[in-house]
Structure 1
Amino acid sequence: MGKTTARTHTHGSSIDPNPQKDIAGPSRKAAGKRKKRGEEGSDPSLTNAEIKTYRSNLRGRAIRPTKFYHKKSMKKLGVHDGVYHLFIKLGWRGFLRLCDRTYEEPTMEFLSTYARDDDTEVLTFQLKGEHHRLTYEELDSIMGIDDPFRISPQNQEYQDFLRCPDANFWMQISGLPTFNPSRQRAKHIVHPCWRIAHRVLTTSIFGRLEPGQINRCELFFLRSMRHALSLSFSGFFLDKCDSIRQRSSGEIFIGGLITIIGRAVGLDFPDAEYIPVDTPPNFLLDCDTLIRMEMLLDRGTRTYSWLDSDKAPVYILPSWIGSSFDTGDPDTWLPPDQLTQRCIPRIR
C-alpha cells in the first residue's frame, strides 16, 4: 500500500470557495499483534465482501453539499471573533478556514473503502482508485486541529456525558431548565456565537438532514468549547462515517470534508471530470443561508435581526453582543431581560 503525505488544505475549488483567505461494521481493531500509534504493517483493511456491502448500502442515496463557515458574513454580523474564540478553545483553530465542494464519486469511494484502527490510530482508504494511509494525527492536522492532547469518542468523560448531559450548561445557553434530545432544538440557543458554532458542526462533521436539532454529542462539543477541552476530529468524524455506511437510507452531507482529505493527499478534482453536487454553488454558511434557515432576517438597512425559537427578533446585528461575548461569563450569553426573568446561574 503506497504511503501518502498529507498537506494542509484550506480551499481548492475553481470558484474561490473560501472568500476569507443495515450490517454490523468490521471491528475497529485490526487483527494480529497490536502496533504502536502510526506504525506501518498490519494496517486496517476491509474484505471485498465488506466493500461490496457498503457500496450496496450507499448506492442511490442523495449526496448533499457540506456547508462551511463564511468568515466575511460573520464579520458582517459582528460575531466572527466570538465564534472563532469558541473553536480555538476546542483546539480546532484552523477548522473555520476549511472550505471545498462536494462530489458524489469521491464521497462514495471513500465511505465504501476506508478502514480504521483505533489502537494504532491509522486510517486507510481509497480515492480515485489509489490507496492512501493517514494517521489520526495527520487527519486532525489536515482539518486544522492543532492540540496534541485530544479527547476521542472512547474517552470516559465523553461517555459519562452521554449518560448524563450537563443540564446546567444547557440552561445557561438556552434558558430551558432541562435537556431532552428528543425535543430540544438548537433554535432554543439564544446567543448567535453559540448557535452558529453549533450550526458549523451540524453542517460539516455531524452533517445531517435536520441540523436544527441538538443531540448529546453536539452539546458535549459546545460544553467542551466552554471548558477548553480539545476534541479529536478523526474519532468523531469516523464514527459519523461508520453510521452513514452501516445504514441503507438517508442523505449524506460530509462529502466536502472528503474532498479536503483527497486534496491533502495530493489528488485533484478538475471541473472537466467532476461535477459538484451543488450547482449553482450552495456550500457556504453565509448570511443568505442563515436567512433560509430562519435564523436571520434582513432588515434592509445593512443590519439584520437575529431570531429566537419563536422567530421573533432578539438582537440587531451587528452590535455589541459579538465583541462582548465571553465564554467565561454566562451573563454575556443571554439578553439582560432573559437573565433577569430566568435567573440563569453563573459558573464559578
Structure 2
Amino acid sequence: MSKSRKRPTAARHKAPARNQNDAPDIPRFRDANAAENYTKSLPRKFASTKFVCKPMLISLGVLEGVTQLFCNIGCENLLNLIAYTYELPTREFLVDSGYDNEKRKATFQLLGDRRYIDFAMINEILGLPSSNTSTVFDILPAEFNHETFRTEIIRGIFSCADRDKATFIIHSCLRIAHRILVCTVFARKEAGQVTKNELFFLWCMMQRANPPIPDFASFFFHKCAHMRSTMSDDVCIGGFVTLLARGLDIELPDEYQPVDNRNLLDECALINMHHILRRNMSSFTWYCPQGVGYLILPRPSSHKLHLP
C-alpha cells in the first residue's frame, strides 16, 4: 500500500544558511548527452519561481475571484505552494529530465538520484490535477478560438499594436490569474506577449460547465523540454523542483542557498513588473500600454467573474 503524501502548504520555510567556503559538487550523469547539456547550461541564469502572495490578492480585492478561477480547473492548491529555488538541483533536473505522454511517465535526476515516476504521483505531490485526456498543446480543442477569446477579454480598449501584451487584459481576476500562470506554470520571468497556450488556460478557467482540466505534470515536462532546447531565457522552474525533491524525500544539503529570497508575487513584484501602479497607501491602478492608470483597485465588483 502506497504511503500517503501531504500536499505542500503555504508555510514559509526558512532559507538554509550556507558556508561560502563550501562549493557544491558537480553532478554525475549516466547519460553523456545530459552531461553535455549541463556544460552548455552553465552560462544560463536562474531566477526564483514566484509563488502567490495571498495578502496581495486581498489588497487588490481579487482573492475570491482568482481562487474561483483556479478552482475551476482543479488548480486551487497552486495558490498555496511556495518554495525556494536552488541553482544546482534545478540545473541538474533541467538537463536530465524527460517524459512519455503515452505512458504518462517522467524521468529526471535530482542530486544523483534517478527517478522514473507516473505523472499522477507528480501531480499528487504538488496537489495539482491529473487528467487522462490531457491536452496535447500542439493541438488545442477545436472549440477554443484564441482570437475570439482574446477579443472578448480586450473589449476593444487597446489598439492592435498593444493587443498581444499582458497588459491588454482588463478584467482584474483574469489579469492577476494570467500573471500567476506566467510565474508558475509557464515558468517565465516576464509576461511579455500573451501566448496561445496561456489564453487556453484562461479560457479553461472561464468555462462554466465541465471545463477542460490541463494535466499539470504533462504540461510541466513539456515546458522543461522546450526550455532545455532553447537554452536562452532565465530558468524559473526551481521552486517546483524543490517541491518535488521535498515530496520524494530527497534532502537538499544544508550548504545550498537560494538563488535569492524574492520568491513571492507580491505588490512590490507587480510594481517592478510594470503591472500595477501605487495610487496611495491602500489602492493601486492598472498599468496599461499607454502608461496610464485606467482602473482603480481594489473595487467592490472586482471579484465577479463576468467580463466587464
Q: TM-score scaled to structure 2, two decimals?
A: 0.84
Aligned to 1:119: 102
**In structure 1, the residue corresponding to 2:106 is in which secondary structure?**
strand
Q: How does 1:1-348 map to 2 (within 5 A)?
A: 7-11=6-10, 14-15=13-14, 48-146=31-129, 148=131, 151-153=134-136, 156=139, 158=140, 160=142, 165-176=145-156, 184-227=164-207, 228-269=211-252, 272-278=254-260, 281-323=261-303, 325-326=304-305, 329=306, 333-334=307-308
Give the C-alpha shift of residue 119 in structure 1: 1.7
Taking a change above 3 Å as real, the CA distance of residues 13 and 303 of structure 1, as seen in their structure-2 partners, is: closer
Q: Measure the CA separation in 2 of the matches of 1:246 and 1:252.
A: 12
Q: Measure the CA separation in 2 of the matches of 1:180 and 1:141.
A: 42
Give the C-alpha shift of residue 49 in structure 1: 2.4
Taking a change above 3 Å as real, the CA distance of residues 144 and 170 of structure 1, as seen in their structure-2 partners, is: same
Identity among equivalent pairs (%):
30
Q: Measure the CA separation in 1 of the matches of 2:244 and 2:156.
A: 39
Say how many residue pairs are matched.
291
Give the C-alpha shift of residue 201 in structure 1: 1.1
Q: Measure the CA separation in 1 of the matches of 2:161 and 2:181.
A: 16
Give the C-alpha shift of residue 269 in structure 1: 3.0
Q: Measure the CA separation in 2 of the matches of 1:103 and 1:313.
A: 37
Structure with the bigger RCO (C-alpha within 8 Å, sep 6+) is 2
Q: Measure the CA separation in 2 of the matches of 1:177 and 1:169.
A: 14
Q: Which amino acid aligns with 1:110?
A: F
- Spell out, residue by residue over 1:180-235, the C-alpha distance to the aligned partner (whole angstroms, 9 max, x if none): 89961110111221111111111122122432320111111111111122111111
Q: Measure the CA separation in 2 of the matches of 1:182 and 1:314.
A: 15
**In structure 2, the residue corresponding to 1:131 is in which secondary structure?**
strand
- Spell out, residue by residue over 1:86-143, the C-alpha distance to the aligned partner (whole angstroms, 9 max, x if none): 1111221211111111110110111122232222111122212222232111112223
In structure 1, list runs of 5 or more residues that go unmatched. Answer: 17-45, 335-348
Taking a change above 3 Å as real, the CA distance of residues 277 and 181 of structure 1, as seen in their structure-2 partners, is: farther
Q: Which amino acid aligns with 2:124?
A: S
**In structure 2, the residue corresponding to 1:94 is in which secondary structure?**
helix
- Spell out, residue by residue over 1:7-60, the C-alpha distance to the aligned partner (whole angstroms, 9 max, x if none): 5223575339xxxxxxxxxxxxxxxxxxxxxxxxxxxxx962221232133222
Aligned to 2:23: none
Contact kept? 1:168, 1:177, Cα under 8 Å: no
Aligned to 2:25: none
Q: Measure the CA separation in 1 of the matches of 2:159 and 2:50.
A: 27
Q: TM-score scaled to structure 1, two decimals?
A: 0.75
Q: Measure the CA separation in 2 of the matches of 1:316 and 1:181.
A: 24
Aligned to 2:18: none
**In structure 2, the residue corresponding to 1:91 is in which secondary structure?**
coil
Contact kept? 2:9, 2:81, Cα under 8 Å: yes
Greater mean alpha carbon deviation, residues 66-75 or residues 52-61: 52-61
Greater mean alpha carbon deviation, residues 146-155 or residues 130-139: 146-155
Q: Which amino acid aligns with 1:175?
A: R
Q: Measure the CA separation in 2 of the matches of 1:56 and 1:288.
A: 35
**In structure 2, the residue corresponding to 1:314 is in which secondary structure?**
coil
**In structure 1, the residue corresponding to 2:230 is in which secondary structure?**
coil
Taking a change above 3 Å as real, the CA distance of residues 264 and 209 of structure 1, as seen in their structure-2 partners, is: same
**In structure 2, the residue corresponding to 1:50 is in which secondary structure?**
helix
Q: Which amino acid aligns with 1:141?
A: E
Q: Measure the CA separation in 2 of the matches of 1:185 and 1:12.
A: 33
- Spell out, residue by residue over 1:240-281, the C-alpha distance to the aligned partner (whole angstroms, 9 max, x if none): 1001112333321111111111111112335x3111111xx2
Q: Which amino acid aligns with 1:258?
A: V
Q: Which amino acid aligns with 1:298?
A: R
Taking a change above 3 Å as real, the CA distance of residues 282 and 290 of structure 1, as seen in their structure-2 partners, is: same
